Chains A and B, each alone.
Chain A
């Protein structure tokens, strides 16, 4: 079964500072990888995904993530945090066997300090 670990349930950054959210997966075959964002009282919105090809993936709102097979990681970064980035962020994986199951990490709450 797929397993996703997000290190740090809460991350607090200053406006303009780097945002780094960590995600590690546990499977021998790299899965498809996703980052979703959930703004307060809203549904989940896809930020970016890695399926194949270039390991550095750019997403919406200035976020990017890098797939590192050797580290089984897919960390999310944004160079300069904005107040509007305050939200819950979820890393998710689905196996390449296409079994439809999307497994989510526990989520990381990001707060941005003025």
Chain B
């Protein structure tokens, strides 16, 4: 009964490829997020969707495109992968009913671009 799940857990690919990471939450939350954690473990928000609508879109290359088919899913598609995209990507979700938006995180997807 995993709350926030991501697939795959590990992703190794060549430069120039296109890849997707999937995220699903079974918490009934309204908002979902994608974060990038770099090699120094710094975490930065990339995108956020609220009820399938994009609400946060930080300065991220347009090779990254989030897609939310429904409230429970937020996928991340990356085109033309570059070496600098290597990182751990975390999905998270939160419930709108609390002002403080406590976020619940998935286990992460470690992306390695060769």
Contacts and interface: CB of A to CB of B under 8 A. Distances in A.
Main secondary structure of the interface of A (DSSP, over half): strand
A45 to B, nearest CB: 7
Contacts, number: 58
Interface stretch (B11-19, B62-70, B95-103): B95-103
A102 B42 CA distance: 13
Nearest to A102: B103
Interface string A20-39: 00000000000010101010
Interface string B71-106: 000000000000000000010101000011111111
Interface residues of B, number: 26
- Considering the complex of A and B, which 6 residue pairs feature the smallest CB-CB distances, nearest first? A32-B100, A44-B105, A104-B43, A43-B105, A43-B107, A51-B100
Given A43-B106, A103-B45, A107-B41, 20 more contacts: A42-B107, A43-B108, A44-B43, A44-B92, A44-B105, A49-B100, A88-B41, A98-B101, A100-B33, A100-B48, A100-B50, A100-B101, A101-B45, A102-B33, A102-B45, A104-B42, A104-B44, A106-B41, A106-B42, A109-B41
